[in-house]
Amino acid sequence: MRKRFYLMMLIVSLAAIGFLTPVQADEAAPVAVIENDSFDFGSVYAGIDVIHDFIIQNKGDADLEIKDVKAG
């Protein structure tokens, strides 16, 4: 309970001093749209390469930068 209180106080404090600012409706922002964000490769034998293309579209009005991709 105390951890939640301190976390909320931190968030409120950061928002109050301007570290957390919401995106305004008139500001340009990227919007990543991924039709299928996961894929089941099934059983894969060691040493066999498997490939699947994930299609990512930017439906926003600013450049979308993908800086890191990790297998989950």
* DSSP letter, residue 32: E
- The answer as to whether 34 is a domain residue is yes
pLDDT digits (tens, 9 = 90+) for 23-47: 666 789 999 998 888 889 899 999 9
- The answer as to whether 48 is a domain residue is yes
The answer to whether 5 and 38 are in contact (CB under 8 A) is no
Number of domains in the chain: 1
- The answer as to whether 47 is a domain residue is yes
Dihedral of alpha carbons 26, 35, 55, 34, sign? positive
Backbone angles phi, psi at 14, to 5 degrees: -65, -40
So what's the pLDDT on residue 9? 66
- Helix (H), strand (E) counts: the chain: 1, 2
Residue 14 reports pLDDT greater than 80: no
With H, G, I as helix, E, B as strand and everything else as coil, classify residue 3.
helix
- The answer as to whether 51 is a domain residue is yes
Beta-carbon neighbour count of residue 24 at 10 Å?
7
- The answer as to whether 49 is a domain residue is yes
- The answer as to whether 46 is a domain residue is yes
Range of the domain at 37: 25-62
